[in-house]
Chains A and B, each alone.
Chain A
């Protein structure tokens, strides 16, 4: 048994030994230990160094309030810096290292900072490091950055997994102390669906510290486990309270083992949509500021009690307990019972009825005492008259009172109110469907808290219309009233007295902040960094506010606390991502022909949410080899391309044509059945939104296509106008994007190819911009004679599940013509040659006129975007307009994103290049561009410059239609 481990008591399993390492040294503990309790049991006191002064620090608390005892836990890709050892459940093989020290924990050179404490006081860095200006990035800041920070992060990906679970319940109970257990039980017994969350790995909260309550705790847990609709979630911290009674939490599924079990997650992100919430989150003990209150050996009194009672550890050999309230009496008693020598209880108050019992156990109880200093194994006691006494002690337990854990209540929107008895803030009137119970609202005593929890649980159930029957179960006896606390925030003396141990904020820093005008609590916080450490000011937040209140000459109630924000305890970023990371970051859409593309060697490329073939390289082919072969194949014979990602919207109803007339800049009511037409939609602000084709299948039935990227926005846009602006129009619309695969067959031999496949449609009588129905082996087909490539071309729509049969049939039919499958790159090449628009041009900044399609705008009738497109600056012909460009030196390349200027070196851009390609037809680079006064510039020379590439070339401006501007091929 290790030196400080008690022979009995607590919730640890002494029959089993766990081995772990801290700073490379081997230690032993037991199941039920935390890393902190196991180290204390082994007599380790110095565990870390502080942020700024690198002062030696020990273990202050027994939970997530810990400011000082931070370690790098685990190693390599599982490294977790800044882990609170008080919040780590011990496991076999645990590895941890102290952090923020150099060269070693015992001897840290950065501790010289402490000597300059008065100079590097609050906000000192705002007042210096300004000369010379260039030294900030070069010298000062790198030094600061190197010195700052706590632990080291890994650069490696996390090997563990996470998932998200979303739960609904009637009553969510947060915290499993006496109040939480009673609330969960009563709510469960009246039939509510209850979830009870406990951040700790053991259920019971404060009950774990009182052996007399053990049978009640066990009985309550057993009962709850027997109620079908009660779910108990240990190791589950609720980190935030959000709108509409949604709470977020994280369940630590696999943190208490060296590695999560196979097929199990490390952590589970959980949300809870609760009908009612009971916040039984307990209370946190607060610090007292005095010289040396940060040294190793100082510990919160409640934490010391926890180490004795729950972990069977004596956290020191000789102890002084310093308090201003009754709660620490239990600590003194426990320490005495644990066999510590000469326990001194220094009570700041005048008297207390509990003294007699403690004295009977050998505790030296003294009243009217302050602790004015804690040095090496020596506590300086001071009486009000100024008398002093030094007591030998290696453990100094302090209790400045208790703050209800109001974080979640405050986040829910409830204001806080001041409780003079506690000298602390308690939750005010609820805003959402929540109530606090037990210590979380300032109730003292286990029996009292249990009763309060029962009432809260019942009230929560009642609010949901449940309950009514008599629910009765035994509760612990009330402890009766305790003696009042006497507020004590600071024992004044020279030297450093800390209010924030992690950020090394002292009482003098707070006073300095006030002197300099940073007197509002939020200003003081920001100026001194008080409360901003990883313990979120749970220990010293109110103490700092009290020092500020004194300096301001105002009440603490008036000074208040900074806003409580998520997270109640820091949360792993991976947990919040909930597993939607990496390749699962967003759903990947695949077309019905995806498998065929992969089997045939396609290089796939993301496009919006889709994966599409980029090109289909043959062995040894470069990308350009492949693309140029595909493009030549199409232009010279026939090619086939999967166009299924295009948005497809089906409109039916007598007013379908009217709706389209009002959504597109051109008319569709004039479109004959069996015809298609290119259309452009504007946003209401007159800027081009999307383009595509609309096909009239029947008098009252249209099918429109959208660009891939805008498929969803266009449908939503159409639904908005159809449902809210013109609800009188009798038209229904729905997406059929996934239902129909679409196959482009393009090239001079597309007709002869397709004619071998499509039955029931005479392709020789089927003119450009027609739509018709046919079939293949009983599979219905829709055939559109439209062309994105600029060649004689068709698009064949086929129900998705038959897509591959039809695709293969077309390939087989085209085999004699050397049909080539082609991908996005080739499609893009050909559309740039042809001067068709794509997302690079439809970028949300151009009008119809800018894009060269202004003439399509109807002269009469309302349509979306008509009025605002006529605003003066939008109608200015000097705006950048779509043009074609090509280098004068045909050997030069173009770059997308290059700018057009009148001469190199000009500081004024006349436009920019939107799309470029190497043209197969022209044998040189060509591009599309937006150029001021574009049409008037045709035939003129400008310079395409890309300073990023240090390039400038002369280009000639042309029509955007580089190939077949007369549109002869498509009509063949």
Chain B
């Protein structure tokens, strides 16, 4: 057994930063260890992204299950956890989603102190703009749904939007900006830091993070899971959780599961760094475009899927042209700014646009995926609920509706009403 690592000895603080700085920064420890796999664990989490690491953290820190390994094909946090547009919010319409994402937002609000890691949760507000009377009514329905469930939401009229964001083009002939729904507690967090913070916190409680350890099979004994085959050998486990959004179909197939999921490309972009221009997160109903500005100054933005199944992590130009067209139409001042970098992630798109955190028909095998666009903001609650589901072998009320059999039962959670068309969700 590796020695239990004392959480206090390596605390981060301003005082520590000063002390280490004076002494040449020699005293910092690895943010997470690089251990060898043990023969068996109580729980193996497949997937060292935000959700897998958060699950390990909450297993160890809430449920006291510390004999846990997180296995990851390459280095941790380079999938969707490191490729998203960093938005946190809980402005959902349907109660199953609202209560889950609101719990996530509450966890975000205390995450720095929980993890002793500054993940830079910044609640500068999230504003969803609407362009027609019917979009306004839909926004009002959503905002009222949030308020009834105790979530913050404010309706902002066109004049107030103009005052808040004087650079918007309010009077596009087809997409006039009539107003917006503001969630003041929405905002952003530093995506890489979330990965590292969860990894460090889990590691300090004894969780083994096994990088460069690709799962090649899920071993079963009859109806129950006994462990995972990996490129670093067989690892036994009483319980196995899959949290590999983007590749859920492939890993689940190792256990013989076929899912209502398609993998799709989602592109994102960052501009050169500029002095503060956009304070809150803005999303537009016109053509689906959202934008925020990082603390470093880059404008980070994205929009729709490329629209066809893909595992390539590289996007194409039609989406780019369309997205830039929306961006400049809504914020004409973007025109002369330069986009610095483009990248793409693989989104697990489900048939109703909502995720799943659930047990499977195989005993000891648990599934977390289908995050569509929403995975980053879900990270803490996803880990929290998945840990609960694994530890107790039953869902928490927050994820009780987020099952896969909802499709067979007709209990879809379809926020957009787009139906079983993952490319349109």
Contacts of B416 on A, CB cut-off 8 Å?
844
Binds B, one of A30-38, A202-210, A523-531: A523-531
Known: A127-B16, A585-B174, A685-B419. A158 touches B120 (CB 8 A): no
Binds B, one of A508-516, A734-742, A808-816: A508-516
Q: Enumerate A882-925 residues with CB–CB distance to B below 8 Å.
A: 895-899, 901, 906-909, 912-915
B5 within 8 A of partner (CB): no
What residue of chain A has the Cβ atom nearest to residue B209's Cβ? A517
Whether B295 contacts A577 by the Cβ 8 Å rule is no
B7 on the A face (CB < 8 A): no
Chain A contacts with B in 140-193, Cβ cutoff 8 A = 141, 144-146, 148-158, 160, 162, 164
Instruction: Specify which chain B residues have a CB less than 8 angstroms from the CB of A130 in the assembled complex.
Output: 12-13, 112-113, 116-118
A970 to B343, CA, bound (A): 58
Whether A875 lies near B324 (C-beta < 8 A) is: no
User: A81 near B16 (CB under 8 angstroms)?
Assistant: no
- If A570-B340, A840-B137 touch, whether A81 touches B120 (CB-CB below 8 Å) is no
Query: Which residues on B sit within 8 Å (CB–CB) of A127?
Result: 12-13, 16-17, 117-118
Contact of B144 among A572, A845, A899 (CB under 8 A): A899
B24 neighbours in A (Cβ, 8 Å): 118
B16 lies within 8 A of A948 (CB): no
A888 CB, nearest partner CB in chain B, Å: 20
Distance in Å: Cβ of B23 to nearest Cβ of chain A:
9
Which residue in chain A gives the minimum CB-CB distance to B414? A845
- Partner-contacting stretch, out of B36-44, B228-236, B328-336, B386-394: B328-336
Which chain B positions have C-beta within 8 A of A689? 419
Cβ < 8 Å to B, chain A residues 522-566:
522-523, 526-527, 529, 532, 534, 536, 565-566
Q: Which residues, 168 to 204 on B, are CB-close (under 8 Å) to A?
A: 169, 172-176, 190, 192-193, 196-197
A683 contacts the other chain (CB 8 A): yes
0 or 1 for each of B105-149: is its CB under 8 Å from A? (1 = yes)? 000011011001111111110000001111011111111110111
Binds A, one of B216-224, B251-259, B269-277: B269-277
Q: Are B274 and A118 in contact (CB under 8 A)?
A: no
User: Are B341 and A536 neighbours in the complex by a CB distance under 8 Å?
Assistant: yes
A582 CB within 8 Å of chain B: yes
The tally of residues in A whose CB lies under 8 Å from a CB in B reads 121
Which residue of A is nearest B340, CB measured?
A: A570
Give CA–CA (A871, B172) in the complex, Å. 43
**Min CB gap B115→A, angstroms:** 9
State whether the Cβ of A281 lies closer than 8 Å to any Cβ in chain B.
Answer: no
The answer to whether A151 touches B274, judged by C-beta atoms less than 8 angstroms apart, is yes
State in angstroms the CA–CA spacing of A32 and B277 once bound together.
Answer: 35
Q: Flag B294-333 by CB within 8 Å of A: 1 or 0 each.
A: 0111000000000000000010110011001111110011
Query: By the criterion CB–CB under 8 Å, are A896 and B328 in contact?
Result: no
> Knowing A149-B296, A897-B140, A898-B140 touch, does A573 contact B337 (C-beta < 8 A)?
yes
A181 CB, nearest partner CB in chain B, Å = 28
B282 at the interface (CB under 8 A from A): no
Contact, CB under 8 Å: B174 / A141: no
> Are A909 and B155 touching (Cβ within 8 A)?
no
Interface Cβ pair total, 8 Å cutoff: 357
Flag if A581 contacts B325 (CB, 8 Å). Answer: yes
Contact B173 A149 (CB under 8 A): no
- A243 interface residue per 8 A CB criterion: yes
Would you call A843 an interface residue if the criterion is a C-beta within 8 Å of the partner chain's C-beta atoms?
yes
Interface residues of B in 45-80 (CB under 8 A from A): 74-75, 77-78
- A246 with B317: in contact, given A840-B134, A872-B410, A945-B144 (CB under 8 Å)? yes
A577 contacts across to B, CB distance below 8 A: 321, 324-325, 327-329, 335
Within the complex, what minimum Cβ distance (angstroms) separates A249 from chain B? 11
**Distance (Å) between the CB of B380 and the closest chain A CB?**
15
The reply to whether the CB of A297 lies closer than 8 angstroms to some CB of chain B is no
Residue of B nearest to A896 (CB): B137
In contact, B147 and A508 (Cβ under 8 angstroms): no
Which chain B residue has the least Cβ–Cβ distance from A73?
Answer: B336
With both chains docked as a complex, state the minimum distance between the C-beta of A663 and any C-beta of chain B, in angstroms.
15
CA distance A898 to B286 in the complex (A): 23
- Check A907 against B149 for contact (C-beta < 8 Å): yes
Measured between beta carbons, the chain B residues less than 8 angstroms from A534 are 272-273, 338, 340
Query: Chain A nearest CB: distance from B89 CB in Å?
Result: 15
A222 in contact (CB, < 8 A): no
Cβ of A79 within 8 Å of any chain B Cβ, yes or no, is yes
Are A152 and B275 in contact, CB atoms less than 8 angstroms apart?
A: yes
- Chain A residues near B141 (CB, 8 Å)? 896-899, 912-913
Whole-angstrom distance between the Cβ of B178 and the nearest chain A Cβ? 11
Evaluate contact between A82 and B335: CB separation under 8 angstroms.
no
Q: When chains A and B are docked, how far (Å) is the Cα of A871 from the Cα of B412?
A: 11
Residues from chain B with a CB closer than 8 A to the CB of A518 are 31
Q: Mark A398-429, 1 if CB is under 8 A from B, else 0.
A: 00000000000001000000000000000000
Given that A141-B120, A536-B341, A948-B155 are contacting pairs, would A248 and B317 also be in contact in the complex, using a CB cutoff of 8 Å? yes
Complex: A5 Cα to B332 Cα, angstroms: 41
In the complex the two chains form, is B137's CB within 8 Å of A570's CB? Answer: no
B25 & A271 in contact (Cβ 8 Å cutoff): no
Evaluate contact between A683 and B420: CB separation under 8 angstroms. yes
List B residues 240-274 near A (Cβ within 8 Å). 271-274
- Write out, one digit per residue, whether chain A residues 228-252 have a CB within 8 A of any chain B CB (1) or not (0): 0000000000001011001010000
**Contact indicator A573/B327 (Cβ below 8 Å):** yes
Given known contacts A148-B295, A897-B140, A128 and B272 CB-to-CB distance under 8 angstroms = no
Chain A residues with CB below 8 A from B17, complex form: 119, 124, 127-128
Check: B14 CB closer than 8 A to any chain A CB: yes
> Assuming A573-B324, A577-B321, is B28 touching A153 (CB within 8 A)?
no
Question: Does A567 touch B at the CB level, under 8 Å?
Answer: yes
Inter-subunit contact B144/A946 (CB<8 Å): yes
- A154 nearest CB across to chain B (Å): 6
- Give chain A nearest CB distance to B57 CB in angstroms: 16
Q: How close is B343's CB to chain A, nearest CB, in angstroms?
A: 5
Q: Which of B271, B293, B296, B414 is the most central at the interface, judged by chain A CB atoms within 10 Å of its CB?
A: B296
Given contact pairs A149-B276, A526-B82, A567-B341, A271 touches B317 in the complex (Cβ within 8 A): yes
Report the separation of the CA atoms of residues A682 and B206 in the bound assembly, to the nearest whole angstrom: 53
- In the bound assembly, the distance between CA atoms of A126 and B12 in angstroms comes to 8
Chain B proximity of A448: nearest CB distance (Å):
33
* Docked complex Cα distance between A896 and B333 (Å): 34
Give the contacting residue for A126; candidates B78, B118, B351, B411; CB below 8 A: B118
Mark contacts of B376-392 with chain A using CB atoms, 8 A cut-off: 1 yes-contact digit, 0 otherwise: 00000000000000000
- Distance (Å) between the CB of A444 and the closest chain B CB? 30
Chain A CB within 8 A of B8 CB: no
CA of A914 to CA of B138, assembled, Å: 8
Contact A81 B274 (CB under 8 A): yes
15 inter-chain pairs at a CB distance below 8 angstroms, sorted by A residue, are A120-B21, A126-B117, A148-B295, A153-B274, A156-B333, A515-B25, A520-B211, A566-B342, A573-B337, A585-B175, A897-B139, A906-B148, A908-B148, A913-B141, A947-B148
Question: Which residues in A have some Cβ–Cβ distance to B below 8 Å?
Answer: 51, 78-82, 116, 118-121, 124-131, 133, 136-137, 141, 144-146, 148-158, 160, 162, 164, 240, 242-243, 246, 248, 269, 271, 411, 508, 512, 515-518, 520, 522-523, 526-527, 529, 532, 534, 536, 565-567, 570-574, 576-578, 580-583, 585-586, 588, 605-606, 609, 611, 683-687, 689, 839-840, 843-845, 868, 871-875, 895-899, 901, 906-909, 912-915, 945-949
Interface residues of B (CB under 8 A from A): 12-14, 16-18, 21-22, 24-25, 28-34, 74-75, 77-78, 82, 95, 109-110, 112-113, 116-124, 131-134, 136-145, 147-150, 153-155, 166-167, 169, 172-176, 190, 192-193, 196-197, 211, 271-277, 286-287, 293, 295-297, 314, 316-317, 320-321, 324-329, 332-343, 351, 406, 408-412, 414, 416-420
Known pairs A156-B167, A585-B326; list 16 more (Cβ under 8 Å): A80-B336, A116-B21, A149-B273, A149-B276, A156-B333, A243-B316, A512-B25, A522-B78, A567-B341, A574-B334, A611-B173, A685-B412, A687-B414, A874-B410, A896-B133, A945-B148
Q: Which 4 A-B pairs have the closest CB atoms?
A: A844-B417, A897-B140, A871-B410, A149-B297
